[in-house]
Structure 1
Amino acid sequence: MFRNEKLFLPPPRDGSDFKELFKRLAAAGAGRLLDKDGFPAGPWTPELLAEAISLIDSNRVGVDLRTVQLWFQENEKGISTANIRWLARILGCDDPVATSEWQMELSEAQSRLSAKRREWKRAGGSVAQEIPDTAVTATIDDETDPPVELTLDTDPKGPSRRFSLARESEAFFSRGSPLNLPASVFAGVTALGFLSYLTGIHSVTYGRADGVVKQVGFLWTANWTFVFMIFLPLFFAFVTELVTFWKDEGRPKLVAQGDKMESDHAWARTVQASSYSYWAVFLICVVFAGLLQWIGVSLIPLLKGGGNYATDWGSLAIVRPEVISVPEAVVFTGLAYLYMCLCFYLFFVGLILLYTVIHDLWSIGEAVSNRPEVDYQHELYEASLRVMRAIFRCTVLGLLIAIVMKLQSAYLTSRGENIVSWLVGDMSSAFYGRNDVSAGIIYRRPTHYSSLLIAISTCVVFVYGSIRLGVERRFCMSLWRMSAIVAVLVASYLLIDAFAGFSILLGVGVLFAIYGLFDPGLGRGQASKLGNNQSVS
């Protein structure tokens, strides 16, 4: 039977497991294009089948050749739920009805193989006698070799041997101890703090032209102390926890029946699919936000003067040369901007990984929407809930970073002597009707733009996660509460220095944010546990 100029075989529905069924289909060449004479083109090979699956338009990440080779071998390995979808497209010859039928047939065949595999494990030693030596060897190699090495051996000339910024960046969050990245960020800003002590700019004041004496010391700078000592380490910790959970536990449980190697391959391809995003972020953070901003904001004003930027610890050598010299300021600001741009590159890498986890989980949910099992749907819901709570925490921290950056920038142009007295004065002005604190001098404020980019990027990830994962009815109430807190934080950010008393709204938003960090379920955790216990009993 032919369909769409391909050899079509209907699902046999004979009770075969996946290995038995796939062996017959591959030998017959089911789904292959006919040759020029209209005859079947021959059997499938692993290379031909992997190429055919990778050429499917909607399959952006393709399939690993090693994975397809495992289907052809005599071993215990089956097929993941995601790959069932693509193999059904091949066997269904791009016909929607036939593809749906083959998807059900392959799912049932995989279930039968899983049942046999459980029987083999219960049988114990007798299984070793029934499985050929080649199967044992393949299984052992499959379990012991790391995924990267398998890929390299399969295609030594392929792209996996080349440097991949996406894979290397993802490794910061998924390899080693979860403490490594947060501790490194904290250590970096601590080192800069010690250098500020050595150079004498840790706590320095200067008299502005309008008579205001302002504190511009490095350790008084909120967007360096709070951001790099507290918010960024926490952000990296939450992203690392989520990526590690998804890669090592959540994803294998949902898509590969516990097959860790195949799940790792698919995750690596998903990360690699966003390679251009990583390079774009690297270019923006390192070249523009790092190098060019340092040259324009610090280097040129230090060497030639001008710039119309508010005086801070980076330009203190211009107004207080007795405290720090220009060469010292150039070196210190260069190190600080290098550290800053690398940290914010990793911050945006974290956002990309959050998006990747959301999209990966949503894709899996779409691919297995025809599985009505209660246990599987419960696992999918629990994974979605855990991912969304981590997204919420990271969103809160991202907005707090943007708020602190904008606060520091607004303080430098205000009449406050230090940032604490400025906020206290603004709060009191709301009750006494004064607005003296906000009447400052107009300067260029590039940090306003940087903080806006961070706020927008963070909110985009949260909105995307809410759309993709927040449709579950049981999750709607928590999602609305999360969205309300995010909305308060966004309003607090936008209204900084916009009116007298903005700090009151800001304080309320920060309190809600802190509560959300400690309890991302927003009081729903105990209720969920009670509900689960009642349903079990």
Structure 2
Amino acid sequence: MFKNGKLFLPPPRDGSDFKELFQRLAAAGAGRRLGKDGFPAGPWTPELLAEAISQIDSNRIGVDLRTVQLWFQENEKGISTANIRWLARVFGCDDPVATSEWQMELSAAQSRLTARRRESKREAGTIAPTSPDAALTPAFDDNGTGSPAELARDTDARGPGRRFSLARRSEALFSRGSPLNLPASVFAGITALGFLSYITGIHNVTYTRADGVVKQVGFLWAANWTFVFMVFLPLFFAFVSELVTFWKDEGRSKLAGHGDRKDSDDAWARNVEASSYSYWAVFLICVMFAGLFQWIGVCLIPLLNGGGEYAIDWGKIAIVRPEIISAPVAIVFTGLAYLYMCLCFYLFFAGLILLYTVVDDLWRIGEASKDQPEVDYRSELNEAGFRVMRWIFRSTVLGILIATVMKLQSSYLASNGTNIVAWLVGDLSSAWYEHDDASSGFSYRLPTQYSSLLIVISTCFVFLYGAIRSGVGSRLHVPLWKMSAVVALLVAGYLLIGAFAGFSILLGAGVLFAIYGLFDPWFGRWPASESQSVT
């Protein structure tokens, strides 16, 4: 039988599972165009079938060749709901009635395959193993993965899966295990450095500057180390982990229509791997420039030469107070601190890349589903957008706060304040009475001013991208204005640090709104679809 110039086979309805049904149809070439001689063109191959599915006009995502190869193999892999739709189009020869019949037949066959797979698991759990190796190797894991031989075939099909991938390793730090693991590791690192500062005696130390101003430069007084690595970075990593875990484990598979979790995981892994060059570029910049070269220029050379054009801080206190810490000990301590710092900031930028990847993935799925006008699906898509932007806003706020604290610390070192708290209080009081030295001070090289600006730009870019992709044309449009206003206020406060006497008033207002936004990202206006979700 032929339909639309293609070989058509009616659904057999014989109780076959998906593997049995698919093998017969693929061997017969069901859905293939007839040859020039009017005879069937032959059986399907994985490459031909993947190309035929990807050429369907309404299929904007296409299908991965590896996924199609799994259909042809002798394994327990099934087919996702989304791919059932496209395969039914092929077997139905683009005829609406025939496609509908094949969609029902393929869905029923997939259900039978799932039932038999569960029965096989149940029987495998009750049968005693015949060898010690069998006791250690179950037939299938929780995700329906096959035997070790099957895993080997999957790895061969994937190809690059055997290579080391910085992108996948970085993503795994955020999405595997407890969301507490990464924040706790960062907190443990700064705690260890704090103990070392106590041991070396630089946790609380002052020195008298050339103009007679006494400066507090102890390690525990350095806000860009205590606040950033004890509070803001752990929270940032926790928020990114929460979003990536939600999207990878729940949101993506639900919206993309993947019946098999493995298909969704593979698609997400490809999206992560697509940004591999970005991860490597960020890694090299953070380790080589922000870490190694900055440590050599800012700490090592001044400690060896006994001076420099940089402000004295806990890392260079051995220059002016050698009785507290010697130069060799300071070199070792600062080397450990900068290594820890550069790795943490690599993870920070890796988190930003993951946020970008989630937004881009959500947008692509939304674009591919425009031909699905179902109210329930659009509601689920909007709710996912709400959750994504909620966590992105929180992460953006923390990123700008990190940059703000970094710039505050470097500005304090160049100011006439005795410690950072007294300096900010003095600047705040200048709004009511004149304070001669509120904004005056020494002129130093301040590399932190540049690095903090990069953090602000990168963080705001991710927020802007998310706002454009998620907010335009949705009910998120109004809350986004409030979020954007808070972000703009924070950025303005950051840029104006030390620019005039009383800058801390604007900065304080932005920080207060930002802290409130961490608890209530919508600022009192909750979207209807979010009313039942956990904040």
1:325 maps to amino acid: S
Which runs of 5 or more residues in structure 1 are unaligned?
Answer: 1-7, 93-98, 130-138, 533-537
1:288 maps to amino acid: F
Matches within 5 A, 1:24-423: 24=25, 27-28=28-29, 42-46=42-46, 49=49, 63=64, 65-70=66-71, 77-79=78-80, 81=82, 110=103, 113-114=106-107, 143-145=143-145, 152-156=152-156, 158-423=159-424
Structure 1 CA distance for aligned equivalents of residues 520 and 447 of structure 2: 34
The Cα of 1:265 is off from its aligned counterpart by: 1.1
Contact 1:53 1:63 in 2 (8 A): no
Contact 1:414 1:440 in 2 (8 A): yes
1:267 maps to amino acid: W
Structure 2 CA distance for aligned equivalents of residues 120 and 156 of structure 1: 25
Determine if the alignment matches structure 1 residue 427 to structure 2 residue 410: no
Structure 2 CA distance for aligned equivalents of residues 164 and 147 of structure 1: 24
Pick which of 225-234 and 151-160 moved more: 151-160
Pick which of 259-268 and 508-517 moved more: 259-268
2:271 maps to amino acid: T
Matches within 5 A, 1:475-490: 475-490=476-491
The Cα of 1:482 is off from its aligned counterpart by: 0.7
Structure 2 CA distance for aligned equivalents of residues 485 and 29 of structure 1: 58
Name the residue aligned to 1:459.
Answer: 460
Query: SS at 2:316's partner residue?
Result: helix
2:261 maps to amino acid: K
Name the residue aligned to 1:535.
Answer: none
Structure 2 CA distance for aligned equivalents of residues 223 and 508 of structure 1: 20
Contact 1:166 1:274 in 2 (8 A): yes
Structure 2 CA distance for aligned equivalents of residues 200 and 460 of structure 1: 41
> How far does the alpha carbon of each residue in 1:256-303 deviate from its partner, in whole angstroms, 9 at most, with x for none?
444211111111111111111111111000111101110111001100
Pick which of 248-257 and 442-451 moved more: 248-257
Question: Residues 291 and 52 from structure 1, CA distance in 2 versus in 1: closer, same or farther, beyond 3 angstroms?
Answer: farther
Structure 2 CA distance for aligned equivalents of residues 251 and 149 of structure 1: 29
The Cα of 1:515 is off from its aligned counterpart by: 0.5
2:196 maps to amino acid: L
Structure 1 CA distance for aligned equivalents of residues 81 and 529 of structure 2: 30
Query: SS at 2:476's partner residue?
Result: helix
Structure 2 CA distance for aligned equivalents of residues 253 and 452 of structure 1: 38
Query: SS at 1:310's partner residue?
Result: coil
Structure 1 CA distance for aligned equivalents of residues 388 and 7 of structure 2: 37
Contact 1:9 1:30 in 2 (8 A): no
Query: SS at 1:487's partner residue?
Result: helix
Q: TM-score, normalised by structure 2?
A: 0.83
Contact 1:281 1:348 in 2 (8 A): yes
Contact 2:382 2:474 in 1 (8 A): no
Structure 2 CA distance for aligned equivalents of residues 104 and 357 of structure 1: 37
The Cα of 1:525 is off from its aligned counterpart by: 2.8
Name the residue aligned to 1:499.
Answer: 500
Contact 2:7 2:30 in 1 (8 A): no
Query: SS at 1:219's partner residue?
Result: helix
Name the residue aligned to 2:134.
Answer: none
Structure 1 CA distance for aligned equivalents of residues 257 and 148 of structure 2: 18
Alignment: residue pair count: 507
Query: SS at 2:215's partner residue?
Result: strand
Pick the structure with more helix per residue: 1
The Cα of 1:41 is off from its aligned counterpart by: 6.7
Identity rate, percent: 63
> How far does the alpha carbon of each residue in 1:75-112 deviate from its partner, in whole angstroms, 9 at most, with x for none?
78334548978x89x979xxxxxx9x799997995576
Query: SS at 2:432's partner residue?
Result: helix
Query: SS at 2:500's partner residue?
Result: coil
Structure 2 CA distance for aligned equivalents of residues 278 and 152 of structure 1: 27
Question: Residues 224 and 148 from structure 1, CA distance in 2 versus in 1: closer, same or farther, beyond 3 angstroms?
Answer: farther
Pick which of 142-151 and 351-360 moved more: 142-151
Query: SS at 1:284's partner residue?
Result: helix
2:144 maps to amino acid: T
Contact 1:492 1:509 in 2 (8 A): yes
Contact 1:64 1:265 in 2 (8 A): no
Contact 1:16 1:109 in 2 (8 A): no
Question: Residues 477 and 197 from structure 1, CA distance in 2 versus in 1: closer, same or farther, beyond 3 angstroms?
Answer: same
Contact 1:61 1:269 in 2 (8 A): no
The Cα of 1:226 is off from its aligned counterpart by: 0.4
The Cα of 1:63 is off from its aligned counterpart by: 2.0
Q: TM-score, normalised by structure 1?
A: 0.82
1:274 maps to amino acid: S
Question: Residues 217 and 54 from structure 1, CA distance in 2 versus in 1: closer, same or farther, beyond 3 angstroms?
Answer: farther
> How far does the alpha carbon of each residue in 1:307-327 deviate from its partner, in whole angstroms, 9 at most, with x for none?
300110001000110111001
The Cα of 1:73 is off from its aligned counterpart by: 6.7
Structure 2 CA distance for aligned equivalents of residues 40 and 475 of structure 1: 53
The Cα of 1:453 is off from its aligned counterpart by: 0.6
Structure 1 CA distance for aligned equivalents of residues 97 and 239 of structure 2: 38
Question: Residues 103 and 453 from structure 1, CA distance in 2 versus in 1: closer, same or farther, beyond 3 angstroms?
Answer: farther
Contact 1:71 1:78 in 2 (8 A): no
Which runs of 5 or more residues in structure 2 are unaligned?
Answer: 121-138
Structure 1 CA distance for aligned equivalents of residues 146 and 456 of structure 2: 38
1:455 maps to amino acid: V
Query: SS at 2:207's partner residue?
Result: strand
Contact 1:82 1:364 in 2 (8 A): no
The Cα of 1:454 is off from its aligned counterpart by: 0.5
Question: Residues 26 and 473 from structure 1, CA distance in 2 versus in 1: closer, same or farther, beyond 3 angstroms?
Answer: farther
The Cα of 1:377 is off from its aligned counterpart by: 1.5
Structure 2 CA distance for aligned equivalents of residues 252 and 473 of structure 1: 22
Structure 2 CA distance for aligned equivalents of residues 248 and 436 of structure 1: 55
Query: SS at 1:144's partner residue?
Result: coil
Query: SS at 1:314's partner residue?
Result: coil
Structure 2 CA distance for aligned equivalents of residues 309 and 152 of structure 1: 56
Query: SS at 1:214's partner residue?
Result: strand
The Cα of 1:379 is off from its aligned counterpart by: 1.2
Contact 2:430 2:502 in 1 (8 A): yes
Structure 1 CA distance for aligned equivalents of residues 143 and 427 of structure 2: 62
Name the residue aligned to 2:525.
Answer: 524
Question: Residues 178 and 197 from structure 1, CA distance in 2 versus in 1: closer, same or farther, beyond 3 angstroms?
Answer: same
